[in-house]
Amino acid sequence: GEQTLVNRTVGKLVSLREELKHKPLSGTLGIGHTRWATHGRPSEENAHPHTAGPVTVVHNGIVENHLSLRASLEARGHVFTSETDTEIFSHCIREKLDAGLDLTAAVRSILNDIEGSYAIAVISSTEPDKIVVAKNASPLVIGLGDGETFLASDIPALLHHTRDFIYLHEQEMAVVTADGVELSTIDGEVFERAPKHITWTPSQAEKGGYKHFMLKEIHEQPRAMVDTLRGRISLETGDVHLEDVTLDDARVKAIDRIYLCACGTAWHAGLVGKRFIEQWARIPVEVDLASEFRYRDPLVTENSLFIAVSQSGETADTLAALKEAKRRGARVLSVCNVMESSIARESDDIVYTHAGPEIGVASTKAFMTQMLALNLVALFLGRRRGTATAGAVTHALSQLSQLPGLVEHILTDSTDVERIARKYVAARDFLYLGRGENYPIALEGAVKLKEISYIHAEGYAAGEMKHGPIALIDEDMPVVVISPQGSHYDKTSSNLQEVMARQGRVIGVATEGDSDL
Ligand code: F6R
């Protein structure tokens, strides 16, 4: 008979690679997963895959009712070897195989008992030619090759093998073989779905000479911004054309409030977008964290426009907030980077950012293109509602079209940034200050420093500084003051003076050539 070989290690992927040198695996079919510890500490026993009898499973997601499922499996004699929620899958499926079901039927039969999120891949030594997969609220894509088929959570992982993909939707499953896939719902309804050919290229999933993906993606910003604008703006007529927005004029005119929802960096882009939309379209905009919106009984109506902002299009809270708004009758528009993602699929209107795959953990080019896309939405709404004139929009568009070149210019020389980073590398805390549209930029700067450098940082509206954080300022806390020339320049400059007066160290972000600041 066939045999399933398992290799698991703790720590970085490189340790698995080492392990495989000593214990190589051979075969024609395999599954793997890097676990993010939710239930049970990081250990070899808790690492995926999890095996029970002939059944082996990997799982991305969280089973919420795993304790009760585990208790009843244990009562029926199953012996667990890990602390994970995932292990219940292998035992449940094994039980069904023992009862005479084939692998596909066995997987299908247990899914209705699972509460929570999953993308699972299941193999069994009893049917060694197939992988059975199922999806609910965790992403799963299938890549089609020539005599080979691939699975992953995300497209970039497979770009070196194929650019033809089938996306699984909620509560769908697939039987994957070397020759292709058979799709069905978890209730057993068989269906077909044409594969999509992706324009992303394999080189977009490589570091291309950069030290890491984040640096590469920072340098991709000018190109990404050009792609966000491409084909959407007319500098002659001041028209903004959003190809996947089908809102008709009546609906545009009827919008009486906009809810902008997102998480993390995308939420910061939303805070900037609020200013653009209120300025151009004169519609009040509320910006919410998706994890708050979904639980706060929002006052959404049919005349609300709900805008979700998400790079991945898979962020669970953003998706749930969107569904909640939809349920209450709102029209739903999303600003999204990944085609066919869950958020894109659930939306009435989509503005793709076209930033290309984001592989680095920190959102950089995604953030930039989200702000740009929201600016286009603001100009689009302004034109359609008559609150913005063709002349004013033409002017704004010509400025926007210069933006990629300006970003390119900034990125050609990073010596100042590196010098400042070295100077302050030992600081434990940072403050970021800005006003107006630079207030959300200050928030974003602080998040970036925290997640990348593990240095504590807070973003503040510059005008709020005197109402609290000023007490913290001394020579040990560098303060980044974002003060380009523009309407808030004088006000922000006086906040800068307040910092200096307390011996604070200021890192100014200024317009090129501004020697005063
Ligand atoms: C920060 C970062 C996160 C994401 C957030 C939303 O650098 O990457 O804060 O912005 O998790 O993700 P998306 O945009 O995929 O919904």
For ligand 1, atom 6, name the residue with the nearest CA. 263
12 pLDDT tier (thresholds 50, 70, 90): confident
CB atoms within 10 A of CB 184: 16
With CA atoms as reference, report the closest residue to 335 among 359, 367, 303, 363: 367
Ligand 1, from 265, 322, 369: best to mutate by most atoms within 8 Å of Cβ? Answer: 265
468 pLDDT tier (thresholds 50, 70, 90): confident
Q: Which atom of ligand 1 is nearest to the CA of 364?
A: 7
- The pLDDT value recorded for residue 1 is 61
Q: Is the CB of 364 under 6 A from ligand 1?
A: no
- The pLDDT value recorded for residue 2 is 82
CA of 364 to the centre of ligand 1 (A): 10
In angstroms, the Cα distances linking 117 to 59, 62, 70, 96, 135 are 9, 5, 17, 21, 8
Let me know how many helices (H) and strands (E) the chain has, helices first: 16, 22
Per DSSP, the three-state class of 50 is strand
Q: Which atom of ligand 1 is nearest to the CA of 315?
A: 16
Q: Is the CB of 363 under 6 A from ligand 1?
A: yes
Ligand 1, from 213, 217, 312: best to mutate by most atoms within 8 Å of Cβ? Answer: 312
What does the pLDDT look like over 80-98, one tens digit per residue?
Answer: 999 999 999 999 999 999 9
Looking at every residue in the chain, the average pLDDT score rounds to: 94
Q: Is the CB of 315 under 6 A from ligand 1?
A: yes
- The pLDDT value recorded for residue 38 is 77
In angstroms, the Cα distances linking 177 to 27, 146, 199, 311 are 14, 12, 25, 31
CA of 118 to the centre of ligand 1 (A): 20
- The pLDDT value recorded for residue 257 is 98
Task: Provide φ and ψ at 477, rounded to 5°.
Answer: -120, 100
The C-alpha atoms of residue 397 and residue 47 are separated, in whole angstroms, by 52
CA 392 to chain centre: 33
Q: Is the CB of 311 under 6 A from ligand 1?
A: yes
Q: Which atom of ligand 1 is nearest to the CA of 448?
A: 7
Ligand 1, from 138, 363, 454: best to mutate by most atoms within 8 Å of Cβ? Answer: 363
Token pair of 449 as six digits: 């420093």
Token pair of 227 as six digits: 């792609």
Strand partners, 123: 56
CA of 158 to the centre of ligand 1 (A): 22
pLDDT > 70? residue 421: yes
CA of 45 to the centre of ligand 1 (A): 31
pLDDT > 90? residue 168: yes
Tell me if 42 sits within 8 A of 5, measured CB to CB: no
352 pLDDT tier (thresholds 50, 70, 90): very high
Question: For the packed helices 103-111 and 87-98, what is the interaxial angle rounded to 10 degrees?
Answer: 120
Q: Is the CB of 337 under 6 A from ligand 1?
A: no
37 pLDDT tier (thresholds 50, 70, 90): confident
Q: Which residues of 323-346 are buried (b: 16+ CB within 10 A; e: fewer)?
A: ebbbeeebbbbbbbbbbbbbbbbb
For ligand 1, atom 3, name the residue with the nearest CA. 264
**393 Cβ contact partners less than 8 Å away, ≥ 6 residues apart:** 238, 239, 240, 280, 379, 382, 383
Q: Which atom of ligand 1 is nearest to the CA of 264?
A: 9
CA of 245 to the centre of ligand 1 (A): 23
In angstroms, the Cα distances linking 400 to 20, 235, 304, 386, 499 are 51, 10, 28, 20, 33
Q: Cα 308–281–301 angle (5° rounding)? A: 50
Token pair of 50 as six digits: 């999890």
For ligand 1, atom 16, name the residue with the nearest CA. 310
Token pair of 82 as six digits: 């890990």
Q: Is the CB of 82 under 6 A from ligand 1?
A: no
Q: Which residues of 193-225 are buried (b: 16+ CB within 10 A; e: fewer)?
A: eebeebebeeebbeeeeeeebbebbbbbbbbbb
